[in-house]
Amino acid sequence: MISTNVSLTEDQAIELIAYILTSAQGLLKEPEHYAVLRVVSAADRMAAMWAPRASGELAAFLEDLGQRMPVEAAATQGDDITSFERYLGQKIDELARIVKQREFAESDDDA
């Protein structure tokens, strides 16, 4: 069952918004490649905030993301950009499968 009545706390929402906005400001002066790390960090933060509320396949996805994303992102500080690109692609594909399953479940419930 998909829960639609879950949300971040106000403190979590403020933290995430503050991080995104200050990241945007920082990117005006930082090197271009920092943008990828900032976006990935925001996704990692949101995953950590949401993981306790998730269940099933989504919970496993968020837990893995929270454990592996910092390690994978750290590799970009060296020369391992290809590995990080591959990791991001895999996580996007995995999330797309979860989203498709949820859409089907919602449309099945509406029928």
Token pair of 98 as six digits: 């979860």
pTM: 0.71
| Contact partners, residue 87, CB within 8 Å, separation at least 6 | 68, 72
Smallest Cα–Cα separation from 92: which of 50, 24, 39, 28? 39
State residue 3's pLDDT score: 58
Banded model confidence at residue 25, pLDDT cuts 50, 70, 90: very high
SS3 label, residue 5: coil
Smallest Cα–Cα separation from 76: which of 33, 20, 28? 33
Token pair of 62 as six digits: 């968020």
Q: What is the pLDDT of residues 74-97, one digit of tens each?
A: 766 666 678 878 888 999 999 999
CA distance linking residue 11 with residue 39, whole number of Å = 20
